Homo-oligomer: A and B are copies of this chain.
Amino acid sequence: MGLKFEIDKKSGKSRLGRLITKHGVVNTPAFMPVGTCATVKAMMPESVAATGAEILLGNTYHLMLRPGADLVEKMGGLHKFMNWDKPILTDSGGFQVMSLSGLRKLKEEGVTFRSHVDGTKYFLSPEESMKIQHKLDSNITMCLDECTPYPSTYDVCAKSMRMSMRWAKRSKDAFIDREGYGIFGIQQGNVFKDLREESAEALKKIGFDGYAIGGLAIGEGQEKMFEVLDYAPQMLPEDKPRYLMGVGRPDDIVGAVLRGVDMFDCVMPTRSGRTSQAFTKYGPINVRNARHREDPRPLEEGCDCPLCSHYSRAYIHHLHKCNEILGVMLLTWHNISYYERLMRGLRNAIKSDTLEQYVAEFYANQAKGDIEEI
């Protein structure tokens, strides 16, 4: 029952692993593109798969509102509904609901909130979140938790983390275990080491298929985040996958892999595709910038995505200046390709004992910046 995780190789704190689910294997370190509303925005699922992505993240909050978990279940589950037959991880809905300031009311039992779409009242508890994620047929279910803002006082973080741990127990109890499906606990504790420790111990006592590091990348900055990541992953079981939620930029991911994290998700590559921001080997590029107007070169030399294979910078610049949907489609595709290529690079480097060189080269290239000369 549950999920299998096998670690094939280690390099420092970094690990090369395989997470085995009912819908296939996820090679780690892995990046999960975000498919909020049962679609990775502006991407066909086969195109997402073509980038090398092996797992998607779905948002329980959005899906419970539209189209609703009952409907997704009726349609055969999220995989079938959205035509994605590889693994899916769903968050618990907690993070989005907690962000609905003014529209939600939190109690020990759970949280009452109103939909941002039409104001309908909903109730979300650990048990309810498990039920919804079960109906979605998610391969990896996340515990319902509360995430404190940054900065928060020690007492606020301690109180919140302890409730999240009680919710973790209730989540685990309500989760229906099946072969190839699993549930992840979520470590909280904000930037306080002893709270992170207390949280990790509570989660280990319950026992999960994997462990997420929650409550980071919420405004504390990369330096502070890395400080926490210097110790937090090591508090979690060595033999289970570790997932840093909502992270991040390419250099966040590289730094987190070096610190022992195995899984990531972030809207960055998809959202940036809609706001004309490209990720490349030589750092970010804004394709609306006038310097690309007459540039016949590909966006990123050596990238095998359709944008870089068949079009010029002049063309993607033109599409974004004209607000053409194809501009969003191609740039999103490129950005996810970039992220998945980065993860493949990290995996290969761990495998071949060249992680140090790989990371040094990564930072050197990013520091170079996009080459201006044509």
Which A residues are closer than 8 A to B by beta carbons? 37-44, 66-67, 71, 74-75, 81-83, 293-294, 296, 306, 310-312, 314-315, 317-319, 321-322, 324-329
Quick one: given A294-B74, A296-B75, are A81 and B326 in contact (CB under 8 Å)?
A: no
Contacts of A329 in B (CB 8 A): 42, 44, 325, 329
Q: A314 touches which one: B42, B71, B306, B310 (CB < 8 A)?
A: B71
Query: How far does the Cβ of A111 sit from chain B's closest Cβ, in whole Å?
Result: 23
Cα A39 to Cα B327 with chains together (Å) = 9
Contacts of A74 in B (CB 8 A): 294, 296
Flag if B325 contacts A66 (CB, 8 Å). no
Flag if B41 contacts A325 (CB, 8 Å). yes
Flag if A83 contacts B325 (CB, 8 Å). no
Quick one: given A44-B326, A67-B293, A325-B329, are A83 and B38 in contact (CB under 8 Å)?
A: no
Cα A314 to Cα B317 with chains together (Å) = 35
Cα A296 to Cα B73 with chains together (Å) = 12
Quick one: given A42-B329, A75-B315, A322-B66, are A310 and B37 in contact (CB under 8 Å)?
A: no
Q: A324 touches which one: B41, B315, B324 (CB < 8 A)?
A: B41
Cα A374 to Cα B311 with chains together (Å) = 44
Contacts of A41 in B (CB 8 A): 324-326
Quick one: given A67-B318, A75-B296, A82-B315, are A42 and B310 in contact (CB under 8 Å)?
A: no
Contacts of A43 in B (CB 8 A): 326
Q: A325 touches which one: B71, B293, B325 (CB < 8 A)?
A: B325
Flag if B322 contacts A71 (CB, 8 Å). no
A-B contact pairs, 19 of them (CB 8 A): A37-B318, A37-B322, A37-B324, A38-B318, A39-B327, A41-B325, A42-B325, A42-B329, A43-B326, A44-B306, A67-B293, A67-B314, A71-B294, A75-B296, A75-B314, A83-B310, A83-B311, A325-B328, A329-B329
Contacts of A81 in B (CB 8 A): 312, 314-315
Cα A318 to Cα B317 with chains together (Å) = 31
Query: How far does the Cβ of A33 sit from chain B's closest Cβ, in whole Å?
Result: 13
